[in-house]
Each structure stands twice: as C-alpha cells, then as structure tokens.
C-alpha cells in the first residue's frame, strides 16, 4: 500500500505539501479518495495528512511499528478528532507510547503555525481497552530537560478581544502592558497556562514597569502602519533588542506584540538559552549581528507582495516573517537567538486553545513558573 507519489492526483494543498517534501513524503493509499500522506523512515510513519476514511490508520498501524499522528490543537474540534481517531481505529492504552506537544513549522502553510499534539502509537496487539481522553494527557511527554523548562500557553478570550481593541484608530500611540498566567487542566493537553492581561498603559515601550515583568506586550496600532506606510507590522529591530535586554535583565519569558495581522510572540530560543543566561547585557558582537541580520525594514511594504528577500522569497504574512527569522542562526553559537510565534486573528478569534510554547532556564535544577 505504500506508494511513491503521483503528484497529479491530489488536491492543491496536498500538491504544495508534496512539492516541498518530494523526497521524504510517501502516500499510503487505498484509492484516490482515501489516503494518508506522511514521512516514512523504515520503521516510522509520521502522518501529516489524512484524506477520506480515517479507518485507514488501522491499516497503517498494521504495517509500521511506530506511527505518529499530528493533530493541530484547536479548541472546538480537538477532543472530537482524537476521540473518533481512537474509536474508529480501536486504538487502546497499550498502543499509545507517548504524546508530545510540538510545533511543526514545516506544515506552516497548511495549519498556520499552531502547536500540534503528536500521538505516538506502536503496533502492539490491542486488548480492546479503549482509553478515556484523560489518559492521553497523562502520557504527555514533558519537554523539560536537564537545563530547560517549557510550558504551553494560550490567551484567554477576553484578553484576545482587548489586545485587538488596542489597535483601534482612536489610539494615537502604542500601548504596553503586563500579563499574568494561570494554571489550568485540559482534558487532552494536560497542564497548560492561560494568559490574561494584568495591567496596561499608554506608550509603554520603554516603560520600566512593563519591561521588568515576566510576561508582557506592546501594540502596533493602526496609526503605526500609517506612519511607516506599510501593511504588515512585524517586530522591529528595537522590539527584538528590547525583549532580549529584558530577558537578560529581568528574566522576561515572553513578549507579545499585538498587530493588525495577529499576535507575534517573542521568546528566547531553547538552543541558545544557556549561552544567553550567563550574560548581564547584550554583548557587542551579538548586537552587531542582530543589527545586521535581523533587521527587516517595513517601510512601504504592501500586500499582497510583501517584502522580497533574496534567497528566501516574499515575506507577505506573519507566518512568512516567522519562517524567515527561523532561518537566521547566530553563527558563533549555531542557534537562533529568538524563538518566534505568530498567531493570526482569524484563528485567535475562533479558538480558545491557540497554544504556543515557551522555554526558560532552570534555576538550581528547578522550574520556577512565575504567575506574573
Ligand atoms: Zn514594536
């Protein structure tokens, strides 16, 4: 059933996926309306697309020792999707090796850059003991490592509305503010953190109270777009450097920027955290590199073209900006300095659990999760 792919028989979205990964991707196929696309590596089959009857997964399971299913995290349908996957394919407790919350940027076009829940299955003979969804959250693999902590966050509905309202034409200048986070327990996702606005004020980009907090934000309101004559409002060079400074000086775990296209989230890249946390200030060599490589001018950037960048293409959405930034590794340390997420309004408006993950250093071997 495993086939090399004949690209012509798929729909446009699948064609796009197949073109980007022509070498890695295989189709597991019953007929033209029922198939699974995924990455195949001898023993492992990682499903990235299911078309037609989802019972097809049982057949994939019969042939591979290790099957990974990626489901984008969306509030309104994630329980339903996972429930029907499990029941239709008679997946039992023994089959679920682990679940992982992860971000699969390579699937960006297709799912936006939502976090996914990955269910890792083995092909053990099932005893018919179908799990309750709670058991899935129990198997969530904690991303904490020896030196790093990681948490999954989502914005509270009212906070999303507020962050959007701050962009209104009536606000002549940007706003800044502080978030607090609250621990909640989700049936499938387990322990996740709800992000709420704590306080906000006007023109707070340089405000010490905001910068010195653990979770904070500022806005790029409508008027900022007018003054730059642009239609996209990604983080500026100053935004990046101010965030890095507040990470080094005040342990700021993330900074959100509310813009007309959506919310950008800046945090420090997990691979660079341990290099950075030793520093008190941004060293000159790093600042020079940031100035030279992470500056993307917004002046006169118009849609649909966006900004053309040589060897990359058109940066014409928040998703593309994040993708472009992910290509920029600091050569001295061979890692990205920033980890960036982008959550578009069209998804924020409809879902509660539009999740993003952040990482921060362990202190004396412990993860101190500050509430604000
Ligand atoms: Zn800004």
- Give residue 188's pLDDT: 80
Q: Over 80: is that where the pLDDT of 129 sits?
A: no
Neighbours of ion ligand 1 (CB under 5 A): 236, 239
CA of 161 to the centre of ligand 1 (A): 19
- pLDDT tens-place string over residues 15-62: 877 887 788 888 888 888 888 888 888 888 998 888 888 788 888 888
Nearest C-alpha neighbor of 248 from the set 93, 97, 361, 101: 361
Q: Which residues pair with 100 in a beta bridge?
A: 118
Among 2.60.120, 3.40.630, 3.30.1490, 3.40.50, what is the CATH number of 2-138?
A: 3.40.630
The DSSP secondary structure of 89-120, one letter per residue, reads TT--GGGEEEEEEEE-GGGHHHHTT-EEEEEE
More confident residue, 65 or 76: 65
CA of 258 to the centre of ligand 1 (A): 9
> To 5 degrees, how large is the angle CA 149–CA 155–CA 157?
160
**Domain boundaries of the chain, sorted by first residue:** 2-138, 148-361
- Cα separation of 363 and 368, whole Å? 7
The DSSP secondary structure of 68-86, one letter per residue, reads EEEEE--TTTHHHHHHHHH
Contact 66, 37 (CB under 8 A): no
- pTM value surpassing 0.85: no
Contact 119, 69 (CB under 8 A): yes
- Cα separation of 302 and 325, whole Å? 19
CA of 39 to the centre of ligand 1 (A): 38
Please report which confidence band the pLDDT of residue 111 belongs to, taking 50, 70 and 90 as the band edges.
very low
- Give residue 89's pLDDT: 83
CA of 67 to the centre of ligand 1 (A): 42
């Amino acid at each position: 059933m495993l086939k090399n792919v004949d690209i012509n028989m798929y729909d446009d979205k699948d064609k796009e996926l197949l073109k980007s990964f022509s070498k890695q991707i295989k189709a597991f196929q019953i007929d033209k309306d029922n198939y699974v696309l995924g990455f195949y590596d001898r023993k492992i089959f990682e499903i990235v697309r299911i078309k037609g009857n989802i019972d097809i997964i049982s057949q994939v399971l019969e042939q591979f020792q290790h099957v990974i299913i990626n489901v984008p995290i969306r509030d309104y349908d994630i329980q339903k999707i996972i429930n029907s996957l499990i029941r239709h394919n008679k997946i039992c407790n023994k089959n679920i090796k682990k679940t992982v919350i992860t971000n699969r940027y390579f699937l960006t076009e297709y799912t936006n850059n939502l976090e996914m829940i990955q269910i890792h299955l083995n092909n053990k003979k099932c005893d018919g003991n179908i799990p309750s969804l709670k058991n899935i959250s129990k198997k969530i693999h904690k991303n904490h490592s020896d030196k790093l902590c990681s948490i999954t966050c989502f914005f509270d509905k009212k906070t999303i509305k507020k962050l959007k309202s701050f962009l209104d034409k009536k606000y002549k200048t940007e706003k800044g503010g502080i978030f607090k986070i609250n621990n909640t327990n989700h049936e499938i996702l387990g322990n996740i953190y709800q992000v709420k606005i704590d306080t906000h004020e006007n023109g707070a980009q340089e405000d010490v109270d905001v910068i010195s907090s653990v979770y904070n934000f500022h806005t790029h309101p409508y008027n900022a777009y007018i003054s730059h004559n642009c239609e996209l409002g990604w983080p500026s060079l100053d935004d990046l450097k101010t965030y890095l400074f507040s990470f080094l000086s005040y342990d700021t775990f993330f900074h959100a920027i509310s813009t007309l296209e959506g919310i950008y989230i800046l945090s420090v890249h997990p691979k660079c955290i341990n290099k950075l946390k030793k520093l008190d200030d941004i060293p000159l060599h790093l600042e020079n590199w940031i100035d030279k490589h992470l500056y993307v001018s917004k002046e006169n950037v118009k849609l649909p073209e966006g900004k053309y960048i040589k060897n990359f293409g058109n940066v014409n959405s928040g998703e593309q900006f994040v993708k472009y930034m992910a290509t920029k590794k600091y050569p001295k340390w061979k890692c990205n300095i920033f980890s960036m997420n982008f959550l578009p309004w069209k998804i924020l408006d409809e879902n509660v659990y539009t999740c993003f993950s952040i990482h921060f250093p362990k202190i004396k071997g412990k993860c101190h999760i500050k509430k604000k």
